[in-house]
Amino acid sequence: MHTISIILAANLFTFYAITQSRLFEKWGLNFKPFTCPLCLTAWVGLALFLLPDFVTYGTLAMFGSGVFAPYFKNFLINIYNKFN
């Protein structure tokens, strides 16, 4: 279960940092691994593997919420518009 949590947390962090917030572009880090989703996911996964479990679960909670919130908001808006 811990390995699955690491994989999921690394992917959610990478998706949020590169695609949604463009965090590394704002910081001026326009080089690998910060611009490569595959590279960044691998390095974040390694870091989460070596760090304590609470870091993995905190990353999973923070970036999981950040990734799924816009989709959930759109889902609720679509339901609201369907019934009005």
Quickly list H helices, the chain. 2-14, 23-26, 37-50, 53-82
Q: What is the pTM of this model?
A: 0.79
pLDDT of the residue at 30: 86
Among the listed residues 4, 65, 21, 13, the one whose alpha carbon sits nearest the alpha carbon of residue 39: 13
- Output the six-digit token pair for 33: 């691994």
Write out pLDDT tens, residues 5-46: 999 999 999 999 998 888 888 899 888 888 899 999 999 999
Domain range summary for the chain, segments of one domain joined by +: 2-82
Reported as a single tens digit per residue, the pLDDT across 52-75 is 999 999 999 999 998 999 999 999
Write the CA distances from 53 to 40, 57, 61, 76, integer angstroms: 20, 6, 12, 33
Helix (H) or strand (E) holding 23: helix 23-26
